[in-house]
């Protein structure tokens, strides 16, 4: 388990030990979507906002 700092609210975000680049985490505090952009060290950035398309 890796603890990261949310770029939006600076709250703690937990990532699994086996996270992969491009994986999206959601901040439990503010709900921001955070994308893993690097693994060594693990770095997150605010995920680009994309329109959700659930194929309705
Ligand atoms: Zn946050």
34: domain CATH number is 2.20.28.160
User: Whole-structure pTM over 0.85, yes or no?
Assistant: no
Q: How far is the CA of 54 from the centre of ligand 1 (A)?
A: 25
Q: Over 80: is that where the pLDDT of 56 sits?
A: no
Q: Is residue 54 part of a domain?
A: no
Q: How far is the CA of 19 from the centre of ligand 1 (A)?
A: 18
Q: Is residue 19 part of a domain?
A: yes
Q: Over 90: is that where the pLDDT of 51 sits?
A: no
Domain of residue 39 covers: 2-46
Which residues have a Cβ under 8 Å from the Cβ of 45 and sit 6 or more positions away? Answer: 7, 34, 35, 37
Domain count, the chain: 1
Q: Is residue 51 part of a domain?
A: no
Q: Is residue 11 part of a domain?
A: yes
Q: How far is the CA of 9 from the centre of ligand 1 (A)?
A: 4
Q: Is residue 55 part of a domain?
A: no
Q: Is residue 37 part of a domain?
A: yes
Burial class (CB in 10 A: 0-12, 13-18, 19+), 44: buried
Q: Is residue 10 part of a domain?
A: yes
Confidence of residue 23 (pLDDT cuts 50, 70, 90): very high
Say which DSSP state 55 is in. Answer: -
């Amino acid at each position: 388990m890796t603890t990261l700092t949310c770029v939006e609210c600076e709250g703690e975000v937990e990532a699994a030990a086996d996270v992969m680049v491009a994986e999206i985490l959601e901040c439990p505090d503010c709900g921001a979507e955070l994308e893993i952009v690097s693994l060594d060290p693990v770095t997150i950035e605010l995920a680009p906002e994309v329109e959700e398309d659930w194929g309705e």
